[in-house]
Structure 1
Amino acid sequence: MNFDYSEEQTLLKDSVDKFIQNDYDYETRKKHSAMEGGFDAATWQTFAELGWLCVPFSEEDGGIGGGAVETMIMMEAFGKGLVVEPYVSTVLVAGAAVAKAGSPEQKAEILGGIIDGSRKLSLAAIEPQSRFDLFDVTTQATASGDGFELSGTKAMVMHGATADTFIVSARVSGSARDREGVSLFLVPANSDGLEVQDYPTLDGHRAAELTLNRVKVPGSALLGVAGAAVEVLESVADEAAMALCAEAVGMMEKLYKETVEYTKNRKQFGVPISVFQALQHRMVDMFTMHEECKSLLLRTVMSHQAGEADFRKNVSALKYAVAVKGQKSAHEAVQIFGGMGMTDEMSVGMYLKRINVINTLFGSGDYHLKRFMSL
């Protein structure tokens, strides 16, 4: 199997790596996180100008036709830089949902806006009782004239406060946990009856809770086939989980390299602490855990590229490995850095927080272990 990047992929990797190294250090990241909305609008526009927002979309939809490899390249680099801009929520999640389910008119209007940086969307598919089951939907969509009326609650909507449109899952038929009967609707953020409660997350990102109280949308707001949204949602979730794992793998690489460099400069008993064998063993373990997760990531990416039936199983194996080994690697870094490793002044503590959040998105390690065994 050939793991070499193509010329176009190499150019993409060089571009994003150079940006993160030169223009997105940890201090810059902290400034962006503290801004209104939790990210820098100018940096988001730079992403658009560099062509990064169009990477995963097909040429017919205005993109470059990038696939899982291109997404992996970008997300690994974003992980190293702890990027807070809403790339996952807008491009890889909401954008993917529109690309998979939208009509030609919807794709032309929405994806064009995502690609040029003028539009930001968020998927609102999780509910307080649903955990990771995207078919567990109690939000109701009832017919009202030529459109629909939506009522319910949505949780953990990534970058919800800065989205101009939400993609809301709502039930048009069946009981709360039926796989059939769930639809997707495009809901403008300024809709009457929609309440958005913004809050910071553990990792310096932002999320929101949505309350929909008889929110009216036209019939044209329906995204995809009525009552058949679960398959789309699960496909988007698996691809997003793979992307987040690539982000975590990038963080794991950064963690072991920064830890090794730190131990070369930190002295105790008159010598660098890197000479102590116990610490060497722990750093080798960090390197090994990164390589194991990187290998699983490559397997998952290649299975997606090839359209293999075991892609979902590979996603679960990867997500579980990142949940266990990613967290372990971050814990080791914090322990070696000492107490200051837990402060926001040091990036290692924020890597740990971000990995912990990734472990709760689109299925925890325990969830994916059970799913792996069932597939």
Structure 2
Amino acid sequence: MDLELTEEQRELASTVGRMMKQHYDAEKRDAILASEQRYSDEMWGRYAELGALALPFAEEHGGAGMGFAEVGVVLEEFGKALALEPYISTVLLGGGLVNEAGTDAQKEELLGGVAEGSTKLAFAAQEPGARYDLSAPQTKASGSGEQYTLSGEKTGVLGGDSADKLIVSASVDGEVGLFVVDANGQGVTLMPLKQADGFGAANVLLDNAPAQRLGSGDASATIQKVIDIATAGLCAEAVGAMDSALKMTSEYLHTRVQFGQPIGVNQALQHRAADMYVSLELARSMALFARLAAASYGENSHRDINAAKIEIDKCAQHISQESIQMHGGIGMTMEYPIGHFAKRLTVLMRTFSDTDTRVEELAAAGGLIAPNAEV
């Protein structure tokens, strides 16, 4: 099995990396973060022009006809720059659900808009008191055919503050259904939120909001698949953020002078930096494991992605905490970039689930490798 990036994927990584270095340095990101909408329409347009928003969708629906491997390449570069735009919520979550469950007409309408940058999507699934459990939504759908209305409450909707359309999970006829709702439509109340890492989200109240059913039948398996693939995307983004955090810390150790010499000559700090590098390489390997599981999604993909995310979360905690420690007091200030990387990594560790919950689920499933497996 060839685990290296293809020439096309390397070129994509190089192109996206150059774009982010040119247009998304720390100063420009701070300006975006301080703006009212907390993401850049200009950068969103650049992503669309580059084709990054179209990557996983079929060409007949306005996409690029590629796959998750290319999406992972883009997300790693976004992680290096801490890009604030709602890429995962639109392309992997909302777009992924439409791609998996939608009719041809729905795919053509919605995915074409995503690909060209004119439509932002968000997946409204989490509800008060349910924590990470998406299997039994209390939001209710009433109606049939083309006419449905939704009533209920959704919390912490990633990208919900910027979405044009919401993909909402709701209980209907004893099943879990998916519905398309106009985010600015009748019966929809959006309450924008700012996450600890600066990324946008929203709480959503639905009061007989008009909705269109996305596809048909029970959507539980589709939701699980899309969440898993989005989790693999988080893994790629986390590796990018950890890579930047380690490089920033290494540069600081070489430039911060104390008692007439760089603090990096201290052997204890060298050892700690080396341990951070080991964590980064472990995370990179686990992100590759998750990428392969997402790219060829099958029976064991949920388990494999879950296991990869557990290890990546541990690495993210190690690198983010060590980065702050070795920067000293300056690492705790909002003006210095390293703290923003630590915040993003901390939020990524708790997106869709947390480490303890994932470990419990993996243990209940018998672990990644069966105890009686032959080695």
Same fold (TM over 0.5): yes
Cα distance in 1 for partners of 2:242, 2:146 equals 51
Cα distance in 2 for partners of 1:83, 1:239 equals 19
Letter aligned with residue 9 of structure 1: Q
Counterpart of 1:329 (choices 295, 319, 325) is 319
Cα distance in 1 for partners of 2:224, 2:332 equals 35
Letter aligned with residue 30 of structure 2: K
Unmatched runs of 5 consecutive residues or more in structure 2: 366-375
Name the CA shift for 1:294/1:214 in 2 (closer, same or farther; >3 Å). Answer: same
Letter aligned with residue 63 of structure 1: G
TM-score scaled by length of structure 2: 0.94
Counterpart of 2:330 (choices 340, 349, 365) is 340
- Which aligned runs of 4 or more in structure 1 are off by greater than 6 angstroms? none
Q: Deviations over 1:97-118 (max 9, x none)?
A: 1000110000001101111111
Cα distance in 2 for partners of 1:250, 1:54 equals 21
Counterpart of 1:195 (choices 189, 211, 214) is 189
TM-score scaled by length of structure 1: 0.94
Cα distance in 1 for partners of 2:92, 2:68 equals 11
Give the aligned partner of residue 139 of structure 1: 139
Cα distance in 1 for partners of 2:65, 2:329 equals 45
Give the aligned partner of residue 216 of structure 1: 210
Give the aligned partner of residue 31 of structure 2: 31
1:4 is displaced (CA, Å) by: 2.3
SS in 1 for 2:189: strand
SS in 2 for 1:93: helix
Give the aligned partner of residue 177 of structure 2: 183
1:145 is displaced (CA, Å) by: 8.8
Give the aligned partner of residue 228 of structure 2: 238
What is the alpha-carbon root mean square deviation over aligned residues? 1.4
Q: Deviations over 1:157-203 (max 9, x none)?
A: 112122111111110134xxxxxx11011000222221100121100
1:146 is displaced (CA, Å) by: 5.7
Cα distance in 2 for partners of 1:71, 1:170 equals 28
Name the CA shift for 1:299/1:153 in 2 (closer, same or farther; >3 Å). Answer: same
Letter aligned with residue 277 of structure 2: F
Matches within 5 A, 1:45-84: 45-84=45-84
Letter aligned with residue 223 of structure 1: L
Cα distance in 1 for partners of 2:28, 2:207 equals 39
Letter aligned with residue 189 of structure 2: E
Are residue 353 (structure 1) and residue 343 (structure 2) matched?
A: yes
Cα distance in 2 for partners of 1:120, 1:138 equals 25
1:21 is displaced (CA, Å) by: 1.6
Are residue 371 (structure 1) and residue 375 (structure 2) matched?
A: no
1:44 is displaced (CA, Å) by: 0.6
SS in 1 for 2:53: helix
1:306 is displaced (CA, Å) by: 3.8
- Aligned residue pairs total 365
SS in 1 for 2:137: coil
Matches within 5 A, 1:253-264: 253-264=243-254
CA contact (8 A) 1:255 1:329 kept: yes
Give the aligned partner of residue 85 of structure 1: 85
Letter aligned with residue 343 of structure 2: K
Letter aligned with residue 258 of structure 2: Q
Unmatched runs of 5 consecutive residues or more in structure 1: 175-180
1:120 is displaced (CA, Å) by: 0.8
1:362 is displaced (CA, Å) by: 1.4
Cα distance in 2 for partners of 1:66, 1:130 equals 35
Letter aligned with residue 308 of structure 2: L
1:35 is displaced (CA, Å) by: 2.0
Report which stretch shifted further, 286-295 or 63-72.
Answer: 63-72
Name the CA shift for 1:199/1:328 in 2 (closer, same or farther; >3 Å). Answer: same
1:229 is displaced (CA, Å) by: 1.2
Are residue 309 (structure 1) and residue 296 (structure 2) matched?
A: no
CA contact (8 A) 1:319 1:364 kept: no
Cα distance in 2 for partners of 1:325, 1:188 equals 39
Letter aligned with residue 183 of structure 1: G
Cα distance in 2 for partners of 1:84, 1:195 equals 23
1:308 is displaced (CA, Å) by: 4.5
Letter aligned with residue 92 of structure 2: L
The alignment-based identity, stated in percent, is 39
Letter aligned with residue 171 of structure 1: S
